[in-house]
Structure 1
């Protein structure tokens, strides 16, 4: 089976690597254009492009796949990409976190299969891993589905569950789901080749949408229950990083534990800031022990180390 692969970040690169190592022929890879990254804002190739080039696989990076784009350059690139797809001998396109919408003109060329990091129909959309942790879901998983024009609405081919551990961050859960997705897409394609895989429509009930994460929502609001704030901190680790202001200084908070004990203090008040008790902050319900923090220009530090250079006693987060 010959596979065209479309994807961009590390989640997708893991799947591409699994396909290559399983012996599938990959004549072409689509990925997002190089983007500025890092402190120097130098152009950086996506994880998928880097791996594809290391394997000698041809890479295309169109700005869009929409033939009706009003932007002339995008429309031309879309047309050239479609011509290239039609000229390529392949059986199926596998898509994983590509970042571009596949229009009907693309979907109609050959079957397209998507690797989605949720238990569809829960968490359709851009940020399923973040949103599952933020919502307090007990489990998540990967769905392999046939693609159609709707947002993650296609029939399901394979679905597997994965528990969300109490200490999972988006970073740690991402890595687990990426590995699972790589295993599952290999299984799915092999079973498609055998004719032993049946597509099942998604349930009409339980549909939720995982909106793209914005940097603005990562600012913590201590006027929430401590358990909700702790989930947000895990959900926004490593991106965009939960943060709060203290004395006008933005402090990133990478780890925290929700405590049941309530406090009558003003929300955001630092109730304790020492080696014995750690950093404990008042919330609307319960309190929050901060375990890992980072000041501007500094390193991520455990609470005890952070306090050596940034005393918090008597201060208030806002």
Structure 2
């Protein structure tokens, strides 16, 4: 089988999964571009990202420009004489001059079924929106935001219990397999990219910590979807007295017999907390896993055993905090 000279560009775990698959393939990785090291942890030490660490472990040349818009970075890329550049969650914009350097252009592993969820956070936004399925697409990159023609895609269901972390890992594996298959087809001259439909376009805005605070006047379905989407980051939360209760798993429950003020804790279930929600206060959010400051994520039953007095029925969730930790 023909082998392609590949430059890989990526930074986080999602990208490292694709790089690992390429290392096991027939193709030759001639260089790895990744974002500069960032300070992390309490000590703020400079740490290599997952892609850089994997590249170093496999003795691959690593490049960490702060931008690909400079003549120097473009000359570095051109000197590698790559057939194709593979981009997976890289985090830097690729100007047209870079897209034009490899013989076969640049291809991207994107965590959605394009054109739905173009942009920065497709995995989480699909869950938050209540989509019944997601997937991964291998796309020929152009100058637009995830607007290029699609070579191939793979689909996976989103269940009422799927979290952002679980879907991330599933799509990373699907994307890695699909990437190698697409590169094999490119090497044989058999890959064909299909332009994206003009209808059905949505944009997946970058996640922020500010949107993780819950508003219990929203519907139970919307709240449950957001909690699962934001697991493991930024993690949905609400206030309970002066504590920040982080919520890790929830589903929409049955409607309550009587309306309550949204955010009111109702009688507990066997394995879950029940919270009144919705504009009418008659919907119910079932919370199965949560976390209080200084502790770890616990099942609702474990949390009740440990802090029952804080979570008695009638307690209101969502009142303003007075200096609770972030």
TM-score range, shorter chain: over 0.9
**Residue in 1 aligned with 2:324?**
none
Look up the SS of the partner of 2:151 in the other structure. strand
C-alpha separation between the residues in 2 aligned to 1:42 and 1:291? Answer: 35
Displacement of 1:123: 0.2
**Residue in 2 aligned with 1:106?**
98
C-alpha separation between the residues in 2 aligned to 1:277 and 1:212? Answer: 33
**Residue in 2 aligned with 1:71?**
none
Look up the SS of the partner of 1:144 in the other structure. strand
Please point out which of 8, 18, 40 is paired with 2:11: 8
> Does the 8 A contact of 2:271 with 2:288 survive in 1?
no
> Does the 8 A contact of 2:271 with 2:301 survive in 1?
no
**Residue in 2 aligned with 1:315?**
315
Residues 113 and 278 of structure 1, relative CA distance in 2, 3 Å threshold: closer
C-alpha separation between the residues in 1 aligned to 2:215 and 2:46? Answer: 35
C-alpha separation between the residues in 1 aligned to 2:273 and 2:150? Answer: 46
| TM-score normalised by length of structure 2 | 0.91
Please point out which of 114, 117, 124 is paired with 2:118: 124
C-alpha separation between the residues in 1 aligned to 2:259 and 2:72? Answer: 64
Displacement of 1:277: 6.3
Deviations 1:83-122 (A, max 9, x none): 1111112100000000111011211111100000100000
Give matches, 1:1-318, under 5 Å: 1-67=4-70, 79-110=71-102, 111-262=105-256, 263-273=258-268, 276=270, 278-284=272-278, 285-311=282-308, 312-313=311-312, 314-318=314-318
> Does the 8 A contact of 1:272 with 1:278 survive in 2?
no
C-alpha separation between the residues in 2 aligned to 1:296 and 1:37? Answer: 21
Displacement of 1:248: 2.2
Choose 111-120 or 299-308, whichever is displaced more: 299-308
C-alpha separation between the residues in 1 aligned to 2:271 and 2:116? Answer: 39
Displacement of 1:43: 1.6
| TM-score normalised by length of structure 1 | 0.93
User: Structure 1, unaligned stretches of length 5 or more?
Assistant: 68-78
User: Structure 2, unaligned stretches of length 5 or more?
Assistant: 319-326
CA-based RMSD: 1.2
Q: How many residues align?
A: 306
